[in-house]
Structure 1
Amino acid sequence: MKNINETILLIYNPVSGTRSFASHLDAFIDSFQQRGYEVHPVRSRSEDDFKDVIERKDLSTYSGVFIAGGDGSVNMAINKLIQIDVDIPLGIIPAGTVNDISYNLGIPQDINKAIKVLSEMKTERFDIGKANDRYFMNSCGAGLFIDVAHTTERELKNIMGRVAYYLKGISELPNFKAMKTRIVANEKTYNENIFLFLVVNGKSVGGFRSLASDASMQDGLLDFIGIKECQLNELSVLFAQILLGNYKNSKNVLHFKSDSIWIECLGEYCQNVTDVDGERGPSMPLEITMKKRGISIVVP
């Protein structure tokens, strides 16, 4: 074991997911101490306080920063690191309701297993997307289901996990309207009425583990997935196909890969609420670009 001369900042969100990370805190500290790291744990008091903690801390003084929380918490940390131009490794302990980012990185979803493998501090560089002025590691989207993440009560999310998102989203189906959009990518223009679009960097989004089955966080490309306006019965079939990951040949899906995408809403009905990694994102129109190998992540 080396002498303790490097410090890891650990920020954990006690209200994320099943609220169980606190019981793993000593195991985290012990595992990293055995490898020569001093751990500075910081407990946020709430979701809003978590953002304040990220803002207050001088991250440049640490050898790495670990986030124990969900995708939204990870997104806050990524944006802060880029904002202050500090290139230190980011570690992710999957302790949220939907942990798509850690899943896509191959991090064990069992907290104890994640702590054990990540304490080795092996790192790789990964791509990150940018929607207007907001960076995202995994996804950016708007339309059906998107506002659900921001309106579903926390207690329901903690108890039922991602099922809570699905149930609330399904309840919106009968009254949901399509958006008239103009999408520009790869020197092509698409004019489509769509219920939902997602721009994704990883395979899993919203707990759909195979949504973008051939996506990679290291290929410099983003996947655009748009669900076109269609009949309710067709939409039900399409959602079943999405669960199985075999939707890309559907006439009701627009799919392509690109490193630069422009999306604007043209009609009277416009779903301006967007989502980036589970957090409320910028309003449309969206200029989405890719920052290749833009961040260092601790991996198994």
Structure 2
Amino acid sequence: MQSSADEKRTKEHARPGRPRALVLVNAKSRLGADVADSAGDLLGSRGLDVRVEDCNQSGGLSSLIRRFADRVDLVIVGGGDGTMNAAAAGLIETRLPLGILPLGTGNDLARTLGLPLTLEAAADVIAAGHQAEIDVGEVNGLPFFNVASIGLSAELAVSLTGDLKRRWGRFGYAIAAMRVLTHAKPFRATIRSADGSARVVTLQVAVGNGRFYGGGNVIRSDARIDDANLDLYSLEMTRAWKLALMARSFRIGEHGAWREVRQVRAEEFDVITRRPKPVNADGEIITRTPARFRVLPKAVRVFVPKPEPSAP
């Protein structure tokens, strides 16, 4: 149900000929509670006909998008990467363009797209109207924007509680990672792609669709979210402490240079483990192994900054 305050904002900003925007702000995201009540006014003042809908539970985002698909021209989602993930299925199905208000902890999708991380500047990008088509990853039929992983990151997703993120922000990742690394154990997996099959002993298998993940790490130095490929890496080492030596490599996407890291680029992957293991996608546990990954090229339209004109 739409609140009386939201109904008032919708009427105030409804004018003929203005783009109709469905606005969904996750009040439970790190900064969402602070802007949930003001997002309608912020966007309405930039020429949009705003309809604000309550979405305190991110699980209902795609349903809301489907419900209002024939009444709006675009969808604006405020939240973190988990919130964007929850909206992905509805966006793919309806083909409505996505405007992003980055209100989470890592905001990795926003970073991949080159979006400003301040609310006002992000709203300006949406109002400017420039769009791009981006790929979406899929694991066992479920979409993800940034990365899906098995092993350390899945354990990290469980340890990185909402309270930890709200209190420490991006430093919460480091705190949770220290907890996970203390008890990390390698596991056996089979990785299959067009390049062949490999049996590995690994601490983590990660499959990236975008560029950034995990609060600013880079999946691969030349990774793009519009190249119709996925990028896999596998951490094939027995001692988790060595990851500390590789920290800078992860930040710039050059961890593939280490001999303990397997790196593969392909359109599809299968990852099989002896026992089912959880799969973390965009910070949320969404499925378990065996896991089939594939890329959905140009599956979502999104508002991005207009590219700077190239020099003559």
**Fold-level match, TM-score > 0.5?**
yes
2:182 & 2:30 partners in 1: Cα distance? 29
Please give the root-mean-square deviation of Cα atoms over the aligned residues, in Å: 1.9
Distance 1:152 1:235, change over 3 A: closer
1:135 & 1:278 partners in 2: Cα distance? 13
- TM-score, normalized by length of structure 1? 0.89
Query: What are the Cα deviations for residues 37-56 of structure 1, in whole angstroms up to 9, with x where unaligned?
Result: 31101233x3xx23235424
Residues 147 and 274, structure 1, Cα contact 8 Å, conserved in 2: no
Aligned pair count reads 287
Give the deviation of 1:234 after TM superposition. Answer: 2.4
Runs of 4+ in 1 over 6 A off after TM superposition: none
Aligned to 1:59: 68
Residues 179 and 271, structure 1, Cα contact 8 Å, conserved in 2: no
Instruction: Work out the percentage of aligned pairs sharing the same amino acid.
Output: 23
Aligned to 1:9: 22
Distance 1:218 1:145, change over 3 A: closer
1:36-51 residue pairs with structure 2 within 5 A? 37-44=48-55, 46=56, 49-51=57-59
1:228 & 1:106 partners in 2: Cα distance? 32
Aligned to 2:10: none
Distance 1:6 1:68, change over 3 A: same
2:150 & 2:236 partners in 1: Cα distance? 13
1:99-114 residue pairs with structure 2 within 5 A? 99-114=107-122
Aligned to 2:12: none
Give the deviation of 1:231 after TM superposition. Answer: 2.5
1:173-184 residue pairs with structure 2 within 5 A? 173-184=181-192
2:140 & 2:259 partners in 1: Cα distance? 30
Letter in 1 for 2:172: A
Query: What are the Cα deviations for residues 93-138 of structure 1, in whole angstroms up to 9, with x where unaligned?
Result: 1011111011101111111111112212211111111111101111
1:256-267 residue pairs with structure 2 within 5 A? 256-266=264-274
The question of 1:272 aligning with 2:285 is answered no
Query: What are the Cα deviations for residues 36-77 of structure 1, in whole angstroms up to 9, with x where unaligned?
Result: x31101233x3xx23235424513221010100011111111
2:252 & 2:292 partners in 1: Cα distance? 30
Which of 81, 89, 93 is 1:79 aligned to?
A: 89
Aligned to 2:4: none
Distance 1:295 1:244, change over 3 A: closer
Distance 1:116 1:6, change over 3 A: closer
Unaligned runs of 5+ residues in structure 2 are 1-14, 306-312
Aligned to 2:303: 298
1:230 & 1:288 partners in 2: Cα distance? 25
SS in 2 for 1:156: helix
The question of 1:282 aligning with 2:287 is answered yes
Letter in 1 for 2:54: R
SS in 1 for 2:128: coil
